[in-house]
Amino acid sequence: LLLLPLLAAWGPRVPGGLRAPQRRWPVPYRRFDYRPKTDPYCQARYTFCPTGSAIPVMKEEDVIEVYRLQAPVWEFKYGDLLGHLKIMHDAVGFRSSLTGKNYTMEWYELFQLGNCTFPHLRPGIDAPFWCNQGAACFYEGIDDAHWKENGTLVLVTTISGTMFNEMAKWVKYDNETGIYYETWTVQASPDKQSTVWFDSYECSKFILRTYQKLADLGAVFKKIQTNYTSIILFSGEPIYLGNETSIFGPLGNKTLAAAIRDFYNPFKPHQTVREFFVDLVRIIDRVILNHQFYLFYNLEYWFLPMKFPYLKIIYEEVPLPVGSKESFGV
């Protein structure tokens, strides 16, 4: 009995003594009725979708080739550097047989990955400020060199113009309702059958949804291996903390609010190498030594009691989907 207080004190400490609620996992990604306007404070280093265009209406009798596109993240700037770590970006390409035109469709962050993953701590504003939206981008052409040199450009299926047009309607719905980028997958352990607490919502998940939609419309995919990148945090059962109002509002939990702000502070952009390494030590202390991580998901805050191995980047196979209908004569 004397050991019980010691065992209770062992592990991560949560401000306010909150406990994990009973709920089903994973927490479903929340969809919204509309896309809010972006705050002028949120600026991207690289313009989102600079050559984007509307998705064209294809003729029903058209035969359209569908290509799997994959390249290292920021390949245009760093070449294959992130490819060695298997940090890959995914897209899908189309080629019309009637017109000979090529198109690319992808989904990525409006304000770059860092802004979607961690907030800004702005003076005079108690709550962390998030510059986080993701969206689909469609444009004419496929940059063969970009996808082939360090990545993948491979035919995966062929569809009709009718199927393409139905897919375009779905893309519009998906893009208008799924608006926030979620970097992290959070699960209980590295075991494949372990509980997933939260699933990510990023470029590869958009491509997987697109493939599934095409399969549901009748597309028959080739039998080839397809791998995707996931960044996984490992945690015990997450603890719900509240939303921005309940934590940072006038009647909020000031102790918890201070703890969340303090946690995010080391993740800010750095001006010098020394600042970076000082904050890196702070991050290791919080996440690994004290087993703490604060997750912002569906506009709500969660406490993650972190577990070994804490974080892992995986590049795992996800098979191409099997259709549920006959292919429209293609």
Q: What pLDDT score was predicted for residue 150?
A: 84
> Which residue in 116, 137, 203, 291 is the catalytic one?
203
The answer to whether residue 123 sits within a structural domain is yes
Q: What domain range includes position 200?
A: 63-317
For the segment 206-221, the average pLDDT, to the nearest whole number, is 97
The answer to whether residue 1 sits within a structural domain is no
DSSP assignment string, 162-217: HHHHHHHHHHHHHHHH----B--EEESSSSTTSPEEE--BSHHHHHHHHHHHHHHH
The answer to whether residue 70 sits within a structural domain is yes
The verdict on pTM exceeding 0.85 is yes
The answer to whether residue 18 sits within a structural domain is no
pLDDT-based confidence at residue 10 (cuts at 50, 70, 90): very low
The answer to whether residue 42 sits within a structural domain is no
For the segment 253-277, the average pLDDT, to the nearest whole number, is 93
The answer to whether residue 43 sits within a structural domain is no
The answer to whether residue 195 sits within a structural domain is yes
For the segment 20-29, the average pLDDT, to the nearest whole number, is 78
The structural domain count of the chain equals 1
Using alpha carbons, select from 204, 102, 188 the residue that is nearest to residue 151: 204
Residue 328 has pLDDT above 70, yes or no: no
Q: At what angle do helices 161-177 and 203-217 cross, to 10 degrees?
A: 140
pLDDT-based confidence at residue 297 (cuts at 50, 70, 90): very high
DSSP assignment string, 6-45: HHHHSS---GGG--PPP--SSBPPP--SSPPPPPTT---S
For the segment 286-309, the average pLDDT, to the nearest whole number, is 97
Is the separation of the CB atoms in 88 and 52 below 8 Å?
no
Residue 21 has pLDDT above 80, yes or no: no
Q: Indicate if 42 belongs to the active site.
A: no
Residue 140, phi-psi category: left (phi > 0), alpha (psi -120 to 50), beta (remainder) = beta
pLDDT-based confidence at residue 14 (cuts at 50, 70, 90): low
The answer to whether residue 13 sits within a structural domain is no
Q: Is the model more confident about 4 or about 306?
A: 306
pLDDT in tens, 159-186: 999 999 999 999 999 999 999 999 999 9
Q: Is the model more confident about 46 or about 203?
A: 203
Percentage of residues of the chain with pLDDT beyond 70: 90
pLDDT-based confidence at residue 271 (cuts at 50, 70, 90): confident
Q: What pLDDT score was predicted for residue 84?
A: 78
Q: Indicate if 120 belongs to the active site.
A: no
